[in-house]
Amino acid sequence: MKRILFLSLPILALLFCFTGCKPSKQAPVDEDSSLILQPKSDYSRSDTVEVRALVDSLLTELNSHRFDKAVSMLTYLKGEEIVPLTKEQAHRQQQLFSSLRGIRYEAGDLIFHEEKDNQMKFRVILFEREPGDNRPNEVSFAVRPVRRDGKWYLTMADDTNPTIEKSEIKN
């Protein structure tokens, strides 16, 4: 019981930080229902395949609780440049993943919009619910796929990234 109470505070804080993705009603949906194509997008199926491969690798590490390897796959968009996470950013991300330590990590919606304004949502399933249990058992987070020179990177989606403030993706 103490563990549930101890975990509920960080989870509640995270719920305030991360919001669910609600696609625009005007956005066409690809045959893969988790891929939402925004009107400005000029992406091909190969872009989807490349981003999904990055996401699958990230999910493999998260589901194996190899958070250090998962964090090493994330980058940061600094102006127009893709850079590795600083030690502080990597430490903060690793602490976040470690504190959630879900039983399962699942991919959510992938939204393509512009080269540096894209979003991939994830769900962290914290525990399996028993019948009749209505407690929330998941939280979500996002990464921002960015294309530079024809290559895709998974960048952090946090409030310290100024490109997030300029995003046209509606959450």
pTM value?
0.69
Q: What is the CATH number of the domain that holds 52?
A: 3.10.450
Beta-bridge partners for 141: 122
The crossing angle, in degrees rounded to 10, of helices 87-100 and 2-17 is: 130
Instruction: Evaluate whether residue 170 is within a structural domain.
Output: no
Residue of 48 and 162 predicted with greater confidence: 48
Sign of the torsion angle spanned by Cα atoms 130, 18, 25, 152: negative
Instruction: Evaluate whether residue 104 is within a structural domain.
Output: yes
Per DSSP, the three-state class of 134 is: coil
pLDDT of residue 34: 54
DSSP string, 71-104: HHTEEEEETTEEEEPPHHHHHHHHHHHHHH--SE
Instruction: Evaluate whether residue 43 is within a structural domain.
Output: yes
Instruction: Evaluate whether residue 70 is within a structural domain.
Output: yes
Domain count, the chain: 1
- Predicted confidence (pLDDT) per residue in 20-48, tens digit: 333 333 344 444 445 554 445 577 888 99
Does the structure show a pLDDT above 60 at 56? yes
Instruction: Evaluate whether residue 171 is within a structural domain.
Output: no
When pLDDT is cut at 50, 70 and 90, the band that residue 156 belongs to is confident
